[in-house]
């Protein structure tokens, strides 16, 4: 979908459809008021007759409205004016896009971006509109022999402005929304691809494409390289599979010589649990266990598109977790790259086993900060559901940056404590630590484990087990937390 920006007014702008908002109790937004006036009070009459309540998420499509140049007018309900907030705004954009998809309109003017939202400016509203529109139109049907017959929606979304300053704001915000949506789309695609296609080698290939397209530096370590580096923990997970593991290092250099932010993404392309085999029900969803890796690639793509002035290193440890005669067994003891030994009490706690070596590897970049992103624990889904990503950190100012980026982007995270007391649960009689800490506080003990490998730098951990994909009828990758990460990095870039 294309975006364009035009200086015009709701009634005069010619397009397939004009999208305007109405609140409950027949309160018209400014654009709706202008359409109403041009049409001689047509909208007010409809509202009075009860054709449109203005309830949040409702829509009403009108044709050939007198005095209006657009072929159609789509009224979108915005709920009570006093309750109009971020969430209702975003839902209204989604309702509008769905409404437009069901019409034959080739282009549409999105007037909703001019409706004031508490504490949010035009830049925020436009970025969100672009993002929601593209997110809504995402499809994954490349593996179906016959594409689903669904309407593709309008090809062009038009945004009106009145002042030259607003024009600049719109241009920048729409570009940011598009870049983030592109990153999300890449992350969704990689997540949705099945384990037999999206293997560690496939992820490495995708990283190659990104590096070539955007002039980033790429290095892919093979099993022998990892052996030489002493990544015994990562390799212990990989050895159960016939797919060779890869260790991807992708560097975006948009800044000068300042220290980079390092993003580490868990890239388990399928997690069967290994010898500690998972139950069969919904095991297919463990193809999503590389969504941390996918979000790193998506974020780097967005950064490059926006040419953000900062340095970011993406590190992706990737392999499969399968049972076999060569697989990790409960009780096995492995030696990590850091030298610390680990008793593998449950082979299904494999994410931390590959991340710990990647976190040790990250030290060589002398990072300004490290953020790891991982579908790490089922416990996080129990704690926070599918709304918030879990956040834990060894540095509060870094946690605060991520919390703020979550609020700003609408892709929110929520902090859990990482207190010393939780370390006790990782005690092992035979090694420096066990890889599990029992059921209580499972997300925290997973993170307590990782914290033993991140002592040399500021670090935050994002547990995206509940937010990276949706189950059930709408099964699919969500592209989260690409918006959170891009906002976090954009904010850092603006302060450098
Ligand atoms: N990839 C899973 C975490 C997961 C489970 C994400 C369900 C989303 C939904 C991870 O590798 C795992 O299996 N974790 C175990 C850890 C346990 C053995 C300590 C879990 O959460 O059950
Ligand atoms: Mn697992
Ligand atoms: Zn896993």
> Tens digits of per-residue pLDDT, 151-183?
778 999 999 998 999 999 999 999 999 999 999
CATH code of the domain containing 113: 3.40.220.10
Q: What is the pLDDT of residue 153?
A: 86
* Average confidence (pLDDT) over 341-368: 99
Tell me which of 293, 378, 447 to substitute to probe ligand 1's pocket, judged by most ligand atoms within 8 Å of the beta carbon.
378
CATH number at residue 399: 3.40.630.10
Q: Pocket of ligand 1, candidates 348, 426, 464: which has the most ligand atoms within 8 Å of its Cβ, to mutate?
A: 348
Q: How many domains does the chain have?
A: 2
Interval 401-458: pLDDT, tens = 999 999 999 999 999 999 999 999 999 999 999 999 999 999 999 999 999 999 999 9
pLDDT band at 149 (very low <50, low <70, confident <90, very high): confident
The answer, yes or no, to whether residue 188 has pLDDT greater than 80, is: yes
Mean pLDDT of 55-77: 97
Does residue 248 share a domain with residue 128?
no
CA-wise closest residue to 445 among 461, 430, 468: 461
Q: Do 59 and 192 reside in the same domain of the chain?
A: no
At residue 81, the pLDDT reads: 96
Q: How far apart (Å, rounded) are the C-alpha atoms in residues 152 and 59?
A: 19
> Pairing state of beta strands 341-344 and 156-161?
unpaired
Atom of ligand 1 nearest to the CA of 348: 13
Q: Under a CB-based contact definition with an 8 Å cutoff, are residues 443 and 390 in contact?
A: yes
> Which protein residues touch ligand 1 with a CB less than 6 Å away?
271, 289, 346, 348-351, 375-379, 381, 436, 442, 465
pLDDT at 150: 75
Last residue of a domain, one of 137, 165, 193: 137
Domain match, 202 and 97 both: no
* pLDDT over 80 (residue 251): yes
Q: Which residues touch 268 (CB under 8 Å, ≥6 apart)?
A: 237, 286, 289, 290, 318, 319, 320, 321, 350, 351, 354, 375
Q: Are residues 200 and 342 in the same domain?
A: yes
What the block records as the tokens of 141 is 């049907």
Ligand nearest to the CA of 346: 1
Long-range contact set of residues 113-117: C-beta below 8 Å, sequence gap at least 24: 113/159, 113/170, 114/29, 114/30, 114/31, 114/160, 115/21, 115/29, 115/30, 115/31, 115/78, 115/84, 115/89, 117/84, 117/85, 117/86, 117/89
Q: 258: phi > 0 → left, psi -120 to 50 → alpha, else beta; which?
A: beta
Is 98 within the bounds of a domain?
yes
Instruction: Single out the residue of 473, 353, 447, 441 nearest to residue 392, CA to CA.
Output: 447
Share of the chain above pLDDT 70, in %: 100
Asked whether residue 273 is domain-assigned, the answer is yes
Residue 352 among the catalytic residues: yes
pTM of the complete model beyond 0.85: yes
Residue 403, φ and ψ in degrees, nearest 5: -60, -45
Expressed as residue numbers, the domain containing 8 is 2-137
pLDDT at 343 over 90: yes
pLDDT at 147 over 90: no
In this structure, the answer to whether residues 96 and 196 fall within a common structural domain is no
What value does the mean pLDDT of the chain take? 97
The pair of structure tokens assigned to 442 is: 């499972």
- Using DSSP's 3-state secondary structure scheme, residue 157 falls into strand
């Amino acid at each position: 979908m294309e975006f364009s920006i035009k200086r015009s007014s709701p009634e005069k702008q010619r397009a397939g459809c004009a999208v305007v908002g109405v609140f409950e109790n027949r309160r018209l937004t400014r654009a709706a008021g202008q359409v109403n006036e041009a049409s001689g009070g047509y909208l007010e009459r409809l509202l009075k007759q009860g054709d449109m309540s203005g309830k949040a998420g409702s829509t009403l499509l009108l044709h050939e409205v007198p005095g209006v140049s657009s072929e159609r007018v789509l009224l979108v309900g915005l709920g009570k004016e006093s309750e109009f907030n971020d969430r209702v705004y975003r839902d209204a954009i989604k309702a509008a896009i769905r409404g437009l998809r069901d019409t034959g309109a080739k282009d549409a003017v999105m007037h909703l971006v001019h409706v004031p939202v508490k504490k949010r400016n035009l830049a925020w509203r436009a970025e969100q509109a672009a993002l929601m529109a593209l997110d809504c139109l995402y499809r994954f049907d490349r593996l179906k022999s016959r594409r689903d017959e669904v309407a593709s929606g309008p090809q062009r979304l038009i945004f009106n402005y009145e002042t030259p300053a607003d024009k600049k704001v719109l241009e920048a915000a729409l570009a940011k929304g598009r870049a983030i949506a592109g990153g999300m789309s890449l992350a969704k695609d990689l997540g949705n691809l099945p384990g037999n296609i999206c293997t560690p080698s496939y992820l490495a290939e995708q990283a190659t494409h990104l590096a070539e397209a955007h002039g980033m530096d790429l290095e892919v370590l093979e099993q022998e390289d990892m052996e030489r580096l002493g990544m015994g923990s990562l390799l212990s997970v990989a050895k159960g599979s016939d797919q060779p593991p890869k260790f991807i290092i992708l560097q975006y250099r948009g800044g000068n010589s300042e220290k980079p932010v390092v993003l580490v993404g868990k890239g388990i392309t399928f997690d069967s649990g290994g010898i500690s085999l998972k139950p069969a029900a919904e095991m297919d969803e463990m193809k999503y266990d590389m969504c941390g890796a996918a979000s790193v690639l998506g974020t780097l793509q967005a950064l490059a598109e926006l040419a953000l002035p900062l340095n970011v290193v993406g590190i992706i440890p990737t392999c499969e977790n399968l049972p076999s005669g060569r697989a990790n067994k409960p009780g096995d003891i492995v030696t990590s790259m850091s030298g610390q030994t680990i008793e593998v009490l449950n082979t299904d706690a494999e994410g931390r086993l590959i991340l710990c070596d990647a976190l040790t590897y990250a030290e060589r970049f002398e990072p300004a900060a490290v953020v790891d992103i991982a579908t790490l624990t089922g416990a996080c889904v129990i704690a926070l559901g599918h709304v918030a990503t879990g956040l834990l950190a060894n540095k509060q100012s870094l946690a605060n940056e991520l919390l703020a980026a979550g609020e700003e982007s609408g892709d929110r995270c929520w902090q859990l404590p990482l207190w010393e007391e939780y370390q006790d649960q990782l005690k092992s009689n035979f090694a420096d630590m066990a890889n599990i800490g029992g059921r209580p506080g499972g997300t925290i003990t997973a993170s307590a484990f990782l914290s033993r490998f991140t002592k040399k730098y500021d670090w935050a951990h994002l547990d995206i087990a509940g937010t990276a994909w949706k189950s059930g009828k709408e099964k699919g990758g969500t592209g989260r937390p690409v918006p959170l990460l891009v906002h976090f990095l954009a904010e850092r870039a603006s302060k450098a």
